[in-house]
Amino acid sequence: MKTILLHVFEDSGFDSRLQVALDIARSHAAHLTCVQPTTQFAPMSFGPLGGDFVTGINFEDMDAAERAHRERVEMRLKEEDVSWDWQTGLGDPATLLTERSRLADLVIVSQSYGKRNAGDEPLPIAGDVAIYGHCAILVVPTEKTSFDCQAPIVVGWNGSAEAAKAVRMSLSMLNMASDVHLVTVGDDSGDFPHIAASTYLARHGVSTVLHELKGKGNEASDIIADFAVEKNAAALVMGAYGHSRLRETLFGGVTKHLLNDTRIPLLMGH
């Protein structure tokens, strides 16, 4: 892992995801790229009479706030022993991060409770970035204050293509972890049993401890999350949206539940 993208936005989760990004970058001797979606706006004319575009949004104030936040963050970064650069771009934050992830190893965003415009809560973009991004995504709870790359990691395994991709994308972090717990909930997959994931990781020098936990349906998210907390895991590795996104939106699902209620960082792939 050598290139880490950090979502820069002044919300209640920024300090936590910045610290986590710095901890991971230091441990992996990685470069940190700060990606700041911007509201910079060029005045335009609309309508048959060429009238000015009228809006209640004060773009000058928003731009000034973004520049002030950048200055504060850059001052902090200059004191850290991590290489970094700064990128800005127009557009939806999830789309911008997805586009910039093409040559990255990890994107770091914050957990959200799924409500847009809810004060200074982090934007609910983790699900979209996990699905459309080109690398792993780390979803950080707002109360997280550090990240120990040598702590145990739990892998939630269900034999899906998404889970397999998450495992491949997280190899560098799994190699650094003190213990890797490979967890299945419910019946093992006859077509792609979890022993295959253990064998794959062993070939990459990662030893795993296998766990088969009892449970079914929506219980899986709570069972895996509780297990990860019990093991003092630094992160929970899992595939994002193993079912269709629409199905998970309508009926819940492990991904949706954990994104809204995780207590530890989620390392996801799709």
Res. 48 pLDDT band, cuts 50 70 90: very low
Q: DSSP secondary-structure letter at 102?
A: G
Check if 3-42+57-140 and 153-269 are the same fold: yes
The pLDDT of 171-178, averaged and rounded, is 98
DSSP H or E run through 26: helix 14-28
The pLDDT of 106-113, averaged and rounded, is 92
In CATH terms, the superfamily for domain 3-42+57-140 is: HUPs (3.40.50.620)
Span of 88-97, 138-147, 251-260 with lowest mean pLDDT: 251-260
* Per-residue pLDDT, 28: 98
* Per-residue pLDDT, 256: 72
* Per-residue pLDDT, 204: 98
Domain regions of the chain by residue span = 3-42+57-140, 153-269
Positive or negative: CA dihedral 77, 78, 79, 84: positive
Span of 53-67, 107-121, 132-146, 150-164 with lowest mean pLDDT: 53-67
The CATH code of domain 153-269 reads: 3.40.50.620
Res. 219 pLDDT band, cuts 50 70 90: confident
- Ranges assigned E (strand) in the chain: 3-7, 31-38, 45-46, 51-52, 84-90, 106-110, 136-140, 153-156, 180-185, 209-213, 235-239, 266-269
Provide the β-strand partners of residue 90.
38
Q: Is the pLDDT of residue 254 over 90?
A: no
